[in-house]
Amino acid sequence: MRWLVTVKRGVDLGALAALVESAGGSSAAADPIPLGDDEIVVEIEATKEAAQRLARDASVISVHPSSDYTLY
Amino acid sequence: MATKVDVLLELRAPAADAFAMHEAAVESEREAFRQSEQLVADLAGFGIEVSNEYAPVPMFTTQEGTFSVDLEAFAIPEQNADVPSQSIVIAAEVDRAAIPDLQGRGVIVWPNSPLVLFSSCSCAAEGVATDDEHLFDLAPSAGGIDCRPFRPAVSRATIRALLGVDRVWRDGFRGQNVVVGIIDEGVNDTVYPVIGGFSRPNSPRPGSAPITSHGSMCAADVLVAAPAAKLYDYPFLGHPNSGGALTMFQAVLDHRRIDGTPHLTNNSYGFVGRPPKNEMPNHEVWDPNHPVHRKVREVVASGAPAFFAAGNCGEDCPSSKCHVSGIGPGNSIHASNSLQEVITVAAVNSRHQRIGYSSQGPGGFFNQKPDIAAYSHFFGNFGPGRPAGGDATSFDNGTSAATPVAVGVGALLMSAFPDLTPPRMKAAMIQSAINIGQPGFDHETGFGVMNAAVAYNLIRNGAV
């Protein structure tokens, strides 16, 4: 399952990728997306449990599901 | 064997009392036949078979168009008991081979062509008003619902007439200088005016989608109201999902930062069900601070109105894709499609009937949804003679089609009023909407069906 991980801008992306891997997930290839003035969003692939573990890390602001749309 | 053809023979046979003669022929088929036979008596051998169905008709003009009598004076019967004709026309069948010889005898031979009765076509069913009607006359204010089998689709001309785009076009605004961003599965640029969009190495270039793509349908439908608008193509990266949408909205912001384009975005996608809130409280449907919603708000705050489709999960005839958790009032407009900042578009047909699959409010995040309704079920990208082809059963449909129609009206207004802000555009569209169904706002079609002419006049007169 895909997730959107929001962290503070300036966070070391290499360290974040390692954190994601240690939680049992993997980072997606997409570039981080800036959000507001001081946050970025990174897309990852992980199980729900792994996403919950990641959300508990102090460097992570939030973890939201990246869900599939239907074209209307 | 000789081939007989239907013709009108114009014979130089002045009649002193032309009107009286014609009146007698109209009253009696026998007299009509007698007069016709008498007129062609000198033309034996040409195989002329006169018709007794039609009375010979006197003509008062020459072929050069000059009048043989004073027709204005003739309109006063007491001064003109009757007048002589210049020539007389009769209906007949003749041998095709004899026509040159007839012409050589001074007879003018005209084709007697079959005509089509306009009233016998299916125009009424297709939403075409007669001379005595306006299209609005066919669209009763009581509203109603259009469900399967749906009413026949209509032409773009009908949609344009209903939107009143002529009023805006007449002042020279057709969407020029406005760029619409289409966030979808891609647009075909061989047919539609794609001038940019999202591109990156190893991804399809903007404009490379097939003509049958959903995004190409959206492109066609933007151009209904704003044929001079240009397009940016923001294709989801493969499968449409939150991450793709986030990337595309960021691309919109990147472009706007460079030159202020695109001016508006079209978003004809969303969810067809709602996950259990206790299991996924941070899903887009439930969490108003999901990154995608925040990014959508950023785009609107940058000055670009975002139009979202209400969805196709209305309770009357929901799409087969809809999950039971996402059908009907209060369940079917959610996620970014229900944000207060966006313009949420329901679908109606050309008779101002809500199309039964059009999703119903209240919205997940903002109660008063949808905002407005726009037209769907017309031949835009799909249908006979349209770019993606198909027969009369193929037409642009869904709230997916209604949304770019609304975007096209937005583009038209921005073409006329470049400084129009998203809140002012929304206010103009709401205030100008033609209310259907319940008076005032309702959760079926919002404030009513949008109208470009009225919205334009409201802004022009400073009423918004």
Report pLDDT digits (tens) over B23-63.
777 777 788 788 888 888 888 888 888 876 677 888 777 66
Closest among A17, A7, A23 to A60, alpha carbons compared: A7
Chain-centroid distance of CA B97 in Å reads 47
Residue B124: band (very low, low, confident or very high) from pLDDT cuts 50, 70, 90: very low
Cβ-based contacts under 8 A for chains A and B:
90
Listed in sequence order, the DSSP H helices in B118-229 are 156-163, 165-170, 214-225
Q: Was domain B4-112 assigned CATH 1.20.1300?
A: no
User: Residues B235-275: pLDDT tens digits?
Assistant: 987 778 999 999 999 999 999 999 999 999 999 999 999 99
Report ipTM for this prediction: 0.89
Cβ separation of A30 and B247 shorter than 8 Å?
A: yes
Q: Is the pTM of this model over 0.80?
A: no
Round the CA-based radius of gyration of chain B to a whole number and report it.
31
User: Residues B73-96: pLDDT tens digits?
Assistant: 544 545 556 777 778 888 888 888
B242 touches A: beta carbon within 8 Å: yes
Judge whether residue B117 has pLDDT over 80.
no
pLDDT of residue B113: 66
Distance CA B143, CA B355 (A): 10
Say which DSSP state B314 is in.
-
Judge whether residue B65 has pLDDT over 90.
no
Cβ separation of B284 and A41 shorter than 8 Å?
A: no
Say which DSSP state A32 is in.
P
User: Residues B177-219: pLDDT tens digits?
Assistant: 999 999 999 999 999 999 999 988 777 899 999 999 999 999 9
Cβ separation of B242 and A33 shorter than 8 Å?
A: no
Neighboring chain A residues of B241 at a CB cutoff of 8 Å: 2, 66-69
The reply to whether domains B4-112 and B117-460 share a CATH topology is no
Question: Out of A21-35, B26-40, B368-382, which region has the weakest mean confidence (pLDDT)?
Answer: B26-40
pLDDT of residue B294: 96
Cβ separation of B243 and A71 shorter than 8 Å?
A: no
Neighboring chain A residues of B272 at a CB cutoff of 8 Å: 70
Mean pLDDT of chain B: 88
Determine what percent of chain B is predicted with pLDDT higher than 90.
66
Taking CA atoms, what residue in A is nearest to B246?
A33
Closest among B285, B279, B308, B286 to B296, alpha carbons compared: B308
Cβ separation of A65 and B284 shorter than 8 Å?
A: yes
Q: Superfamily for B117-460?
A: Peptidase S8/S53 domain (3.40.50.200)
User: Which of B248, B252, B268, B290 should we substitute to test contact with A (largest number of A Cβ atoms within 10 Å)?
Assistant: B290
Q: Give the gap in angstroms from C-alpha A26 to the nearest C-alpha of chain B.
A: 15
Q: How far is CA B367 from CA A26, B187, B364, B403, in A?
A: 38, 33, 7, 19
- Contact B434/B352 with Cβ under 8 angstroms? yes
Distance CA B252, CA B298 (A): 10
Q: Give the gap in angstroms from C-alpha B276 to the nearest C-alpha of chain A.
A: 13
Listed in sequence order, the DSSP H helices in B132-284 are 156-163, 165-170, 214-225, 242-259
Report the pLDDT averaged over residues B449-463. Answer: 97
Nearest by CB to residue B241, choosing from A2, A41, A62, is: A2
Provide the residue ranges of all domains of chain B, joining segments of one domain with +: 4-112, 117-460
Residue B5: band (very low, low, confident or very high) from pLDDT cuts 50, 70, 90: confident
